[in-house]
Structure 1
Amino acid sequence: MAAVPPMAAAAEAAAERKPNVIVVFTDDQGWADLGAHGVRDDVKTPHLDALAAGGALMRAGYITAPQCSPSRAGLITGRYQEKLGFDNISKGPLLLEEVTLAERLRDAGYATGMIGKWHLEPNAATTEWSRANVPADQLKPVPNNKHFLQVPPAVQMEFFPEHQGFTDIFKGELDTYWVNYGLDGEPIADFAWQTHGGYRIDTQTAAAEAFIERHPDDPFFLYLNYYAPHVPMEATPAYLERFPGEMAERRRYGLAMMAAVDDGVGRIVETLDRHGLREDTLIFYISDNGAPLLGKEDLPISFRGGAWDGSLNDPWAGEKGMLTEGGIRVPYIVSWPGRVRPGQVIDEPVIALDVAPTALAAAGEPPVELLDGIDLLPHLAGDAAWPERPLYWRFWGQAAVRDRDHKFLRLSDGRRYLFDMNADDPESASVHAEHPEVLERLEAQLSSWTRGLQPAGLPGGALNVQEREWFGERHLVGVEPLR
């Protein structure tokens, strides 16, 4: 038998290699703060804009919750987190029996890397789980907050990403990381806590580059969770200098942090190019929820608590914590040269649940019936029409469904809204009077969906303090609901 020429063998090996998957997940980045959306002229995201131009900009990209932990649970499992009983931060942790995208891809032969914010382990807010699963003598109240409980570190670590399918870990948010490899790419025996004194966004980018350098010849899944532009606000002078002029200081810092993320995405693409991997890599870029506006008060940067992070949700109504568009409609880009047609601007609704089935299809894995999203690739390649499908949410005292041209929002205090999603400002008026049959249909759909959740049913009882302030006082002012 004739020998296979070396170049032909290399081409054959490349053709058989499974594609890489990268998910870049930002934290509290609003829809306005992606240059490709063309909303604000102070935003500078050239690398992300190029990523969108080379692939698909999903203008109606949604997250599964207006809060970080549940939205992360939805993305990484590919299932509505409400089916797992994980509606909000206090309902965690993500239980180990839930199968993650990382576990599915690891079992398909992938190296799997997790970098940055995890936030799926037990924490001070998960008091219900802690009381049921941690000996009482190991639980202590959080100082100055009688409603929260300190969880022993050893208990938290049982739920770290290495127990959910990840092989390479660089877990952390600010300057302390739980790692099994270093920024030089060298493995670390077992695991260790490391302190890195550099700028946190650049550190997380460097960890991503090191992960790719560790696996240039292996198919890999990289889950990069930038802790930005989430508070506390931090930026280097070099990033701040890109945004001169008069503006709220928190806006300046938020823009600088997003510029650092943008630079990071550029560095990652350069690393892929250097190894000839770009055309073999499917990239998603998504935010975990909309920006927290909190009145857009320009508090001193030194204030490290909950506050506006400088990001904006324009032109959508609402903010983080709300099921209005400002809380759940987020930056969403899909890019894969040769598989996703470049230059697409898609207004069809998509959701973070679509990441898992899309990634598994790219890897050549069979469909998983349990997953709630769809494979986007046939639609982004132009081979299939976009499906008409409802998207659902339940969070605190709110529940919502978007189906085709309308969105129905129900509050636990009885207020109901129907929005025309084709309108320029869809949540500036409720159109329930014009379309009572649509409201009735969507309300029935939403009620039916919630019967399959844990626990089952629509939210009941009073709205919480934040919700009472948001609905009708800070947002949706003058929008008359059906009661």
Structure 2
Amino acid sequence: MIKANFPILLSAAALSASLTVQANTAPNVIIILTDDQGWGDVGYHGIEDIHTPNIDRLAAGGTAFAQAYVTASVSGPSRAGLITGLHQQKLGFYGNGELSVIPHSQPTLAEMLQTQGYDTGMIGKWHLGQEEDQMPWRRGFDFYYGSPHGSHDYFRSSNSLEETRKRFLPMLRNGKVDTPVQERGDYLTDVYTDEAIQFIESEREAPFFLYLAHNAVHFPWQVAERYIDRLADLPVHHEERRFFAGMVLAVDDSVGRIMQSLEENDLSEDTLVLFLSDNGAPRGQGFEAPKQKDRGQTTMASPGPFNGFKGDTYEGGLRVPFVAHWPGTIPAGQIYPHPVVSYDIAPTILARSGVIQPMKGLPFDGVDLLPYLSGQIEPQQRPHQTLHWRRDNDYAIRDGDWKLTWNSQSGPQTIRLFDLKSDPEERNDVVDRYPERAQMMQDRFDDWDSRLPSNMAGKDPQNRNDHYQQGQRTNVMQFNDQERAN
């Protein structure tokens, strides 16, 4: 059962009289992004075998999203969707890898905020390109500290650009090699937090945008012993969960320290803080075999009650923790019930400066969420009626509360249909009960999917219906009958 440990406010409209939506007031902005933190890895979701008091406090003081999605179930494309405000596959950005980048014809959130007078800083994992012209300091950030690659050791880094082991690549400060992590004597999550606080304090007189992209809680499984020691009494079903909870606790401390820094610098009410994960919990986890987990068998990261994992287009790969916090503007203690997606973040932030669309390139797919949160828009009206996902050959479409999906790894490899209103955990496939709805949704997905550009990395989906616009249809029931016969 899905639950939360603070009250649901049934109507944001009741709060609108006492809240001011600052449509043209530009706040400071902080995005705290974690890596591979599942829906079941925060306490405010009612999870008892994790300890996240600061993240829970952030949720209680802001709005938590009951149905928050990312644009992709793996890191690179998810981050591209977040930082552009549109579905990254419209740019040809499909997966992780050095060939996947945001073209310069499409501005990033940081580049757009620079035009509005913001000082911009990024700390942590970039994962949006390796070439010099795609590095953070070339894509809108005045300041950068971190490693731009996909994962990193938490205790060690090299002091040489000639390092070939990706796990130990040097920490970079504005493109130049910085002091190795081990010489700073700290855990990487803490080092990133130190850098974030220094940035906040240096920018407290000007509007700033800080993008803190933690490597945590991504593999390698490493944590400072002091965090595990603090969780000796945490009730866990497996000791690997306690170890993982230590990695999460380090992130939680980071959130607490950042919020304390805002308070000490009298910036709390002038700062919009957004906290979320880049995708769901990974299937591969733990020290003991089997490391590839199935539903209900996780020992570390958790998708909560949901089906699937990172890389899937089931809920477990796409649904993440997401909190928006801005005292006096975003309602405190509210759980927003309708689906939102991470490409809503950029237009929500930019709308505060009066920016409605990018200054070039494609228009936003996301929407400004503040009118929905504040009650300016009727509570029953959703930000999105239809959402789409594509991950290699895996795909999904959500229309209202119905979701059609095909996945190669979890469960039967048939096209499946779920009623998320009555079955958010995707336990009951109803495709045979509603064949007409399933076909309608497959057609809608193929219509969207067939219009996308090719993958810039050269790996187009093998099951894309390229000829949909010429009248070719994917027959759902026929496909399933053939799959079941195999």
| TM-score normalised by L of structure 1 | 0.78
Residue number among 132, 135, 138 corresponding to 1:163 in the alignment: 138
Counterpart of 2:39 in structure 1: which amino acid? W
Listed one character per residue, the Cα deviations across residues 118-155 of structure 1 (whole Å, up to 9, x for unaligned) are: 01114xxxxxxxxxxxxxxxxxxxxxxxxxxxxxxxxx
CA contact (8 A) 1:65 1:289 kept: yes
Identify the residue that residue 35 of structure 1 maps to in structure 2.
43
CA contact (8 A) 2:393 2:463 kept: yes
The count of residues paired between Structure 1 and Structure 2 equals: 405
Matches within 5 A, 1:228-247: 228-244=216-232, 247=237
CA contact (8 A) 1:411 1:459 kept: no
Listed one character per residue, the Cα deviations across residues 190-230 of structure 1 (whole Å, up to 9, x for unaligned) are: 74433122100000111110110110011111110011111
The alpha-carbon distance between structure 1 residues 191 and 363, as it changes in their structure 2 partners (threshold 3 A), is: farther
Q: Supply the distance in 2 between the matched residues of 1:300 and 1:435 (Cα, whole angstroms).
A: 37
Matches within 5 A, 1:323-402: 323-368=313-358, 370-385=363-378, 386-387=381-382, 388-402=384-398
CA contact (8 A) 1:293 1:312 kept: no
Listed one character per residue, the Cα deviations across residues 347-392 of structure 1 (whole Å, up to 9, x for unaligned) are: 2101000000000012332344711101000011111133242111
Residue number among 199, 214, 218 corresponding to 1:211 in the alignment: 199
Identify the residue that residue 265 of structure 2 maps to in structure 1.
275
Matches within 5 A, 1:50-65: 50-65=57-72
Counterpart of 1:290 in structure 2: which amino acid? G
Q: Does 1:179 align with 2:173?
A: yes
The structure that is strand-richer by fraction is: 1
Q: Does 1:103 align with 2:82?
A: no
Q: Supply the distance in 1 between the matched residues of 2:250 and 2:90 (Cα, whole angstroms).
A: 35
Counterpart of 1:226 in structure 2: which amino acid? H
Matches within 5 A, 1:134-149: none
Identify the residue that residue 85 of structure 1 maps to in structure 2.
92
Q: Supply the distance in 1 between the matched residues of 2:213 and 2:113 (Cα, whole angstroms).
A: 18
The alpha-carbon distance between structure 1 residues 211 and 347, as it changes in their structure 2 partners (threshold 3 A), is: same
Q: What's the secondary structure of 1:262's corresponding residue? A: helix
CA contact (8 A) 1:292 1:309 kept: no
* Deviation (angstroms), 1:420: 0.7
Q: Does 1:442 align with 2:441?
A: yes
Identify the residue that residue 405 of structure 2 maps to in structure 1.
409
* Deviation (angstroms), 1:338: 1.1
Identify the residue that residue 129 of structure 1 maps to in structure 2.
none
* Deviation (angstroms), 1:459: 3.4
Identify the residue that residue 419 of structure 2 maps to in structure 1.
420
Identify the residue that residue 179 of structure 2 maps to in structure 1.
194
Q: What's the secondary structure of 2:178's corresponding residue? A: strand
Q: Supply the distance in 2 between the matched residues of 1:383 and 1:458 (Cα, whole angstroms).
A: 42
Counterpart of 1:342 in structure 2: which amino acid? A
Identify the residue that residue 466 of structure 1 maps to in structure 2.
none
Q: Supply the distance in 1 between the matched residues of 2:275 and 2:137 (Cα, whole angstroms).
A: 23
Identify the residue that residue 223 of structure 1 maps to in structure 2.
211
Listed one character per residue, the Cα deviations across residues 36-59 of structure 1 (whole Å, up to 9, x for unaligned) are: 100x31211111111111111101
Q: Supply the distance in 1 between the matched residues of 2:280 and 2:481 (Cα, whole angstroms).
A: 24
CA contact (8 A) 1:23 1:223 kept: yes
* Deviation (angstroms), 1:434: 2.5
Q: What's the secondary structure of 2:432's corresponding residue? A: coil
Q: Supply the distance in 2 between the matched residues of 1:193 and 1:287 (Cα, whole angstroms).
A: 27
User: What residue ranges of structure 1 are gaps of 5+ in the alignment?
Assistant: 1-13, 123-155, 181-189, 302-307, 463-478
Identify the residue that residue 462 of structure 2 maps to in structure 1.
460
Listed one character per residue, the Cα deviations across residues 225-282 of structure 1 (whole Å, up to 9, x for unaligned) are: 0111111122112211122266534322210111111111111111111111111111
Residue number among 121, 126, 131 corresponding to 1:113 in the alignment: 121
The alpha-carbon distance between structure 1 residues 179 and 314, as it changes in their structure 2 partners (threshold 3 A), is: same
Counterpart of 1:405 in structure 2: which amino acid? D
CA contact (8 A) 2:389 2:395 kept: yes
Percent identity between matched residues is 39
Identify the residue that residue 256 of structure 2 maps to in structure 1.
266
CA contact (8 A) 2:238 2:299 kept: no
CA contact (8 A) 2:313 2:406 kept: no
Q: Supply the distance in 2 between the matched residues of 1:480 and 1:193 (Cα, whole angstroms).
A: 58
CA contact (8 A) 1:293 1:309 kept: no
The alpha-carbon distance between structure 1 residues 480 and 292, as it changes in their structure 2 partners (threshold 3 A), is: farther
Q: What's the secondary structure of 1:114's corresponding residue? A: strand
| TM-score normalised by L of structure 2 | 0.78
Q: What's the secondary structure of 1:89's corresponding residue? A: coil
Counterpart of 2:192 in structure 1: which amino acid? Q
CA contact (8 A) 1:316 1:325 kept: yes
Q: Supply the distance in 1 between the matched residues of 2:377 and 2:452 (Cα, whole angstroms).
A: 31
* Deviation (angstroms), 1:16: 8.9
Q: Supply the distance in 2 between the matched residues of 1:15 and 1:374 (Cα, whole angstroms).
A: 13
CA contact (8 A) 1:432 1:482 kept: no
Q: Does 1:252 align with 2:248?
A: no
Q: Supply the distance in 2 between the matched residues of 1:424 and 1:436 (Cα, whole angstroms).
A: 18
